[in-house]
């Protein structure tokens, strides 16, 4: 009789183990970051609709680095050089977040807008954009095409709209903009949360986490699973005594 009861428990225990391990495996990071971006002059109205982002190239980067010193990385980049006779700067920048599909207060679409100026009539530049999760190291996520800036014109703002697809855990992110002189391939400007609070503490997550079926979180899902299996056990032979109390028979 004892061996029969044990064999009855084994399939249910195995099912529980497989389902729990499967859920944990699905929650692990994929090891890469995926996103899509579109860019252009802000005055031209860069597309932000999903259909147009769908046509953008897929940007793939190594997994998000969350441990280490952000200050060290910033210090390394603060050594910006300047070509003789010209000076580049960022006059202003701001960010816009959108698309919170599960209504948890974290968004998967990010727009970064910045106004770059120069001491010359026209200089070709490009920008590299970074994200930092809650004070962690800077992680590069996009490099723009080359584009011209002219003097201190106010109508040449440039914007990058990005959809975070995978590899970006739910949390608060800061943005860093590096501006390069394209003619000399020199880093000229670092502009981030220390220069502008509009680039700081942005509630973001990737679109995979922003889907409706993830709104309850892993712990809730596991709790629901255990409740369901508990209900099965309650009706399983050998799990209740004659008084109906749920227990293992000795």
CATH, residue 89: 2.60.40.10
Q: Are residues 200 and 222 part of one domain?
A: no
Q: Are residues 198 and 227 part of one domain?
A: no
Q: Which H/E stretch holds residue 175?
A: strand 171-181
Q: What is the pLDDT of residue 64?
A: 96
Locate tokens 């953008």: which residue? 56
Q: Are residues 146 and 111 part of one domain?
A: yes
Q: Are residues 193 and 126 part of one domain?
A: yes
Please report, for residues 33, 139, 160, the alpha-carbon distance to residue 60 in angstroms, rounded to integers and kept in the order given: 6, 12, 16
Number of domains comprising the chain: 2
Q: Are residues 79 and 10 part of one domain?
A: no
Question: Please, are residues 180 and 128 in contact by the beta-carbon 8 Å criterion?
Answer: yes
SS3 62: strand
Q: Are residues 199 and 109 part of one domain?
A: yes
Whether the full predicted model's pTM is greater than 0.75, yes or no, is no
Q: Are residues 235 and 146 part of one domain?
A: no
Question: Please, are residues 234 and 240 in contact by the beta-carbon 8 Å criterion?
Answer: yes
Q: Are residues 230 and 136 part of one domain?
A: no
Q: Are residues 15 and 43 part of one domain?
A: no
Q: Are residues 57 and 164 part of one domain?
A: yes
Q: Which H/E stretch holds residue 226?
A: helix 217-234
Token pair for 66? 């969350």
Quick one: how far is CA 7 from the chain centroid? 46
Q: Are residues 108 and 80 part of one domain?
A: yes
Please report, for residues 49, 51, 86, 221, 236, the alpha-carbon distance to residue 38 in angstroms, rounded to integers and kept in the order given: 10, 11, 29, 35, 57
Question: Please, are residues 205 and 220 in contact by the beta-carbon 8 Å criterion?
Answer: no
Could you tell me the mean pLDDT of each successive run of 10 residues in the chain, 250 residues long? 48 48 44 94 70 90 92 62 76 96 95 95 95 95 96 89 96 96 91 96 96 49 49 51 40
Q: What is the dihedral sign for C-alpha 185, 188, 192, 196?
A: negative
How many whole angstroms separate alpha carbon 180 and alpha carbon 182? Answer: 6
Q: Are residues 240 and 125 part of one domain?
A: no
**Domain range spanning residue 9?**
1-30+217-250
Token pair for 28? 């692990």
Q: What is the dihedral sign for C-alpha 133, 32, 72, 126?
A: negative
């Amino acid at each position: 009789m004892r061996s029969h009861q044990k064999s009855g428990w084994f399939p249910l225990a195995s099912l529980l183990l497989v389902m729990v391990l499967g859920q944990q495996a699905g929650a692990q990071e994929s090891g890469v970051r995926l996103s899509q971006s579109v860019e252009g002059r802000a005055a031209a109205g860069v597309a932000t609709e999903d259909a147009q982002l769908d046509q953008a190239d897929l940007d793939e980067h190594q997994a998000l680095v969350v441990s280490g010193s952000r200050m060290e990385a910033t210090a390394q980049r603060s050594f910006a050089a300047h070509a003789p006779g010209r000076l580049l700067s960022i006059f202003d920048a701001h960010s816009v977040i959108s698309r919170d599909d599960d209504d948890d207060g974290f968004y998967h679409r990010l727009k970064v807008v910045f106004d770059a100026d120069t001491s010359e009539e026209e200089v070709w530049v490009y920008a590299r954009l970074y994200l930092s999760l809650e004070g962690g190291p800077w992680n590069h996520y996009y490099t723009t095409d080359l584009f011209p800036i002219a003097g201190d014109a106010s109508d040449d703002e440039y914007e990058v709209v990005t959809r975070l697809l995978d590899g970006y855990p739910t949390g608060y992110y800061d943005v860093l903009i590096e501006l390069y002189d394209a003619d000399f391939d020199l880093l000229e400007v670092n502009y981030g949360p220390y220069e502008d609070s509009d680039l700081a503490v942005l509630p973001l997550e990737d679109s995979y986490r922003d889907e409706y079926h993830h709104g309850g979180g892993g712990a809730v899902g596991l709790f629901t699973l255990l409740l369901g299996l508990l209900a099965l056990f309650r009706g399983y032979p050998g799990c209740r005594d004659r008084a109906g109390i749920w227990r293992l028979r000795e």
